[in-house]
């Protein structure tokens, strides 16, 4: 895995370096996340910003400690088995618990609810209600008719198939709509060179503020352009890395032939540009959507040519290659935007990205190995379900075998939810803001279809807390909600390290707390 990451992770950084001036200065792309980060950094350079930052750090430390102690406390009651501990407490009753509707006291998901917009959290809860509240119980009542009733819980010919393929349809519908939308916007902007999306308006009064703003902009431009990254360096770097990767990846994944890898690298810069441009306009980076293009294409070609053997591996590895390039290219442009607004050296930003990417190529596999060794990763009934592992694998199989393996009426339901995702996105774009802001997000709705409703309950609790907090003290909520959420999420993540170590050492929790009907 480390070799694979080193082979593919750096290509995206070189693919769009020659276009950094075009993207940041000529087209004046906003890159909202990069701009927000820059404004936060700039605010630290005045007294109020430094004081606020200090208070935020204290708040983060406080809730990090609380979350860590709570996670440790929960461990003592989690025992041996899948039904033990606070994670399986039937807070809404045993009947709803069977349909995964319960609050599992997870600091991570509560923190996510504090960070994510209210619309995202409500969309997740709506998806949980539609799937686990109505759709899955309805399909379950047709066991023996629509699918055999004696199948295992993770058999794709039964209810599990509906749980996997319907969210796939929603994700594909949402991704297809957004990629078409972003492509149209990109082409429109490229064809109309006079239209720009300015970051700062410069429409100030005549008292010298405008000239000061222009002077600051000129200084930022000079700093941004001072450290040039030569075109020849970027092109030769991409070519050398592509050659090394083309020779290396087929050795790791033999079904993915060298010519498939080479074709991916010829197409990738264009897709990376589209994704980076779309992220600059909308703040939406869609590497998974572009990865699905490679997944379906390569899986179908390899599967058809070799009787289905190796098509899944080839499709998934091609998807990983494409996602790595497209994602890192958009992330680099976001960071270039931050560097531009903070008057940082572009060359330093690029070198830092290289170092960070190299660290990630080692740290990520080691982290995965720790989870894989200590926990049942991918178990549909376990804590770490890894839902997208199953979903992407089934996408590859679908690209090879078609729809013959789906249970009865599954294809019709998939088509219906695919069209529904397109319609919901279209409604969001054509309706006035006062209506569209209440329109749910299909991508957020898809997650609980497979995972379950419990994390939607947690996130909704987080959004309710934030909603009340904003009503009581809006400024305080804006200043500290991110710090509280970060503390809750980080501590819960940190606890997985000692928990994994205890699991590896075969030290089990002393108590199993569980509930059953009276």
pTM of the model: 0.70
Contacts of residue 165, defined as CB under 8 A and 6 or more positions apart, other chains included, come to: 394, 398, 406, 410, 414
Distance CA 88, CA 106 (A): 11
Contacts of residue 86, defined as CB under 8 A and 6 or more positions apart, other chains included, come to: 74, 77, 78, 104, 105, 513
The alpha carbon of residue 253 and the mean position of all alpha carbons in its chain are separated, in whole angstroms, by 25
pLDDT mean for each 10 residues of the chain (518 residues)? 91 87 78 73 66 81 90 86 80 86 87 84 91 91 85 76 83 78 71 47 38 73 83 90 93 91 89 77 70 82 66 89 90 90 87 92 88 77 72 79 77 91 90 86 83 88 92 88 83 83 84 84
Query: What integer pLDDT is reported at residue 221 of this predicted model?
Result: 85
Query: What integer pLDDT is reported at residue 49 of this predicted model?
Result: 64
**What is the DSSP code (8-state) at residue 440?**
P
Coil, helix or strand at residue 403: coil
Distance CA 189, CA 279 (A): 14
**Closest to 125 measured CA to CA, from 391, 448, 414:** 448
Hey, which bits of 247-373 come out as E strands?
Answer: none
Coil, helix or strand at residue 254: coil
- Quote the tokens at residue 415: 């088509």
**376-400: buried (b, 16+ CB within 10 Å) or exposed (e) per residue?**
eeeebeeeebebbebbbbbbbbbbb
Distance CA 374, CA 467 (A): 37
Token pair 């295992």: residue: 152
- Quote the tokens at residue 396: 């590859």
Query: What integer pLDDT is reported at residue 206 of this predicted model?
Result: 40
The alpha carbon of residue 24 and the mean position of all alpha carbons in its chain are separated, in whole angstroms, by 24
């Amino acid at each position: 895995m480390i070799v694979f990451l080193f082979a593919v992770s750096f290509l995206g950084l070189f693919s769009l370096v020659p276009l950094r001036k075009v993207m940041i200065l000529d087209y004046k792309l906003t890159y909202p996340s990069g701009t927000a980060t820059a404004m936060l950094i700039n605010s630290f350079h005045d007294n109020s910003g430094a004081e606020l930052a200090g208070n935020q750090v204290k708040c983060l430390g406080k809730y990090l400690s609380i979350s860590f102690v709570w996670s440790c406390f929960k461990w003592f009651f989690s025992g041996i088995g899948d039904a033990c501990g606070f994670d399986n407490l039937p807070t809404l009753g045993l009947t709803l618990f069977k349909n995964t509707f319960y609050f599992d006291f997870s600091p991570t998901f509560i923190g996510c609810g504090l960070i994510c917009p209210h619309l995202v959290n409500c969309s997740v809860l709506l998806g949980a209600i539609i799937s686990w509240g109505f759709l899955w119980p309805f399909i379950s009542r047709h066991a023996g008719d629509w699918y055999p009733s004696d199948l295992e819980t993770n058999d794709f010919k039964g209810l599990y198939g509906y749980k996997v393929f319907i969210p796939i349809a929603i994700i594909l519908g949402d991704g297809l709509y957004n990629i078409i939308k972003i492509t149209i916007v990109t082409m429109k902007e490229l064809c109309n060179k006079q239209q720009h999306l300015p970051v700062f308006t410069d429409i100030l009064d005549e008292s010298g503020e405008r000239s000061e703003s222009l002077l600051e902009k000129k200084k930022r431009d000079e700093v941004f352009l001072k450290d040039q990254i030569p075109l020849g360096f970027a092109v030769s770097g991409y070519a050398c890395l592509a050659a090394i990767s083309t020779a290396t990846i087929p050795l790791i994944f033999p079904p993915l032939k060298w010519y498939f890898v080479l074709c991916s690298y010829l197409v990738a810069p264009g897709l990376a540009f589209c994704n980076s441009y779309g992220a600059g306009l909308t703040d939406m980076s869609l590497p998974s959507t572009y990865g699905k293009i490679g997944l379906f294409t390569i899986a179908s070609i390899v599967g058809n040519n070799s009787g289905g053997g190796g098509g899944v591996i080839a499709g998934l590895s091609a998807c990983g290659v494409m996602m790595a390039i497209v994602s890192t290219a958009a992330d680099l442009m976001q960071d270039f935007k931050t560097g531009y607004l903070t008057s940082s050296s572009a060359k330093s930003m690029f070198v830092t990205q290289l170092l960070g990417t190299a660290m990630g190529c080692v740290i990520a596999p080691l982290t995965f190995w720790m989870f894989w060794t200590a926990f049942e990763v991918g178990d549909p009934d376990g804590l770490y379900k890894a839902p997208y592992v199953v979903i992407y694998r089934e996408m590859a199989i679908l690209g090879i075998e078609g729809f013959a393996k789906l249970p009865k009426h599954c294809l019709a339901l998939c088509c219906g939810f695919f069209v529904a995702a397109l319609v919901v996105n279209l409604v969001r774009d054509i309706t006035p803001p006062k209506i569209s802001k209440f329109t749910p997000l299909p991508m957020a709705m898809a997650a609980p279809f497979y995972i379950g409703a419990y994390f939607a309950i947690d996130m909704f609790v987080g959004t309710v807390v934030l909603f009340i907090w904003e009503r009581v003290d809006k400024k305080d909520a804006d200043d500290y909600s991110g710090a509280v959420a970060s503390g809750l999420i980080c501590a819960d993540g940190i606890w997985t390290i000692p928990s994994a170590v205890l699991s590896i050492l075969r030290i089990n929790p002393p108590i199993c707390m569980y509930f059953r009907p009276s």
